[in-house]
Amino acid sequence: MRRRPTFLLSILSFGFAFLYVPILSMVFFSFNASRLATVWGGFSTKWYGALFANKQVGEALLLSLKIAIVSSTVATILGTLAGIALVRFTKFRGRMLFSGLVTAPLIMPEVITGVSALIFFLLLASWIGWPSQRGFTTITLAHITFSMVFVTTIVQARLLQSDQAIEEAAMDLGSRPWQVLVDITLPVISPAILSGWLLAFTISLDDVVITSFTTGPGSTTLPLLIWSKVKLGVTPDINALATLMILCVGIGVAISGVVMNRAEARRLADERLAYRSQA
């Protein structure tokens, strides 16, 4: 008997228009023949050609992917360990400081993280001669540091929801602590670990500010390349690049949606089976 919420629905449509009109406009103008990025001059795919012919773009993408894979993997390992430590060992020396350290990077503005990382690397270089050059290593180190806390937060939330009694039961049945970790804890939190890795990966792939502070000559990641081009104004090949990236993200999201739906359906079927065999 509820009235149709016309007001709410119209704001919802306006909100989605607000979110998507800029993106769609960008996609539309990527097929523009004109040099002016926002004046229509006929259909063309020449900017895609220009994009693929540009070797810089390929190199930058490759560097970005390398950094993202390495940093998100290390960040996931460290972040998971930190999350387990924080939930399962409620008392250890320096726990207060540790939990503070885990939340601090979450609220730290990126500029500050970036500047402090750069000062740190510069001072290290002048004191012990390492890192002699900023680039892949320094960017990766900085990315690991600020993305691991996201992994920790996700893992921590999942662990707090899970039932600790299962682990205690395994202990009582004679499992060693590392066996419990491998056989029970890790499988239980594996979805959280996976989504933590994905988050760390996207954060690293997308980061501009921290990367721009920790990069050195010759190490241009894709966001840095876009940043330097965009600073000069609107260019049509960036539209083409954006369209391709949106396409990739869209496909990725669609695939993960299908996979998740399947997993959900399988879980439901399993549950039904379990109930039936009990009855």
What part of residues 41-80 is at the interface with another protein (CB under 8 A)? Answer: 78-79
DSSP code at position 4: P
- Nearer Cβ to another protein (20/130): 20
**Closer of 84 and 170 to another protein (Cβ):** 84
Rounded to a whole number of angstroms, the minimum distance from the CB of residue 30 to another protein is 10
Q: How many other C-beta atoms lie within 10 A of the C-beta of residue 220? A: 20
With a CB cutoff of 8 Å and minimum separation 6, the contacts of 112 are none
Which of 60, 63, 180, 238 is the binder for another protein (CB under 8 A)?
238
| Binder of another protein out of 126, 132, 277, 278 (CB under 8 A) | 126
Is 136:63 a contact under the CB 8 Å cutoff? Answer: yes
Minimum distance from residue 133 beta carbon to another protein (Å): 16
* Binding to another protein in span 254-273, by CB under 8 A: 257
**In this structure, what is the dihedral angle of CA atoms 269, 275, 277, 279, given to the nearest 10 degrees?**
-150
Binding marks (x or -) toward another protein, 9..38, rule CB under 8 A?
A: x-xx-xxx-xxxxxx-xx--x------xxx
> Could you give the string, one character per residue 96-115, with x where binding to another protein holds by CB under 8 A and - elsewhere?
--x--xx-xx-xxxxxx--x
CA distances from 41 to 25, 30, 31, 183 (A): 14, 11, 9, 61
Q: At closest approach, how far in Å is the CB of 234 from another protein?
A: 5
Q: What track of x and - describes contact with another protein for positions 177 through 216 (by CB under 8 A)?
A: -------------------------x---x-xx-------
272: tokens are 């039904």
Q: Minimal distance in Å, beta carbon 278 to another protein? A: 29
In the complex, the smallest distance separating the C-beta of residue 145 from another protein, rounded to whole angstroms, is 4
What is the rounded CA–CA span in Å between residue 100 and residue 110?
Answer: 17
DSSP string for 161-217: HS-HHHHHHHHHTT--HHHHIIIIIHHHHHHHHHHHHHHHHHHHHH--HHHHHH--T
Judged by CB under 8 A, the chain residues 152 through 171 that form the site for another protein are 152
Among 17, 33, 53, 123, binds another protein (CB under 8 A): 123
Question: Residues 142, 210: contact at Cβ < 8 Å?
Answer: yes
Which position among 51, 67, 200, 226 is part of the footprint of another protein (CB under 8 A)? 226
Closest Cα to residue 197, out of 155, 141, 250? Answer: 155
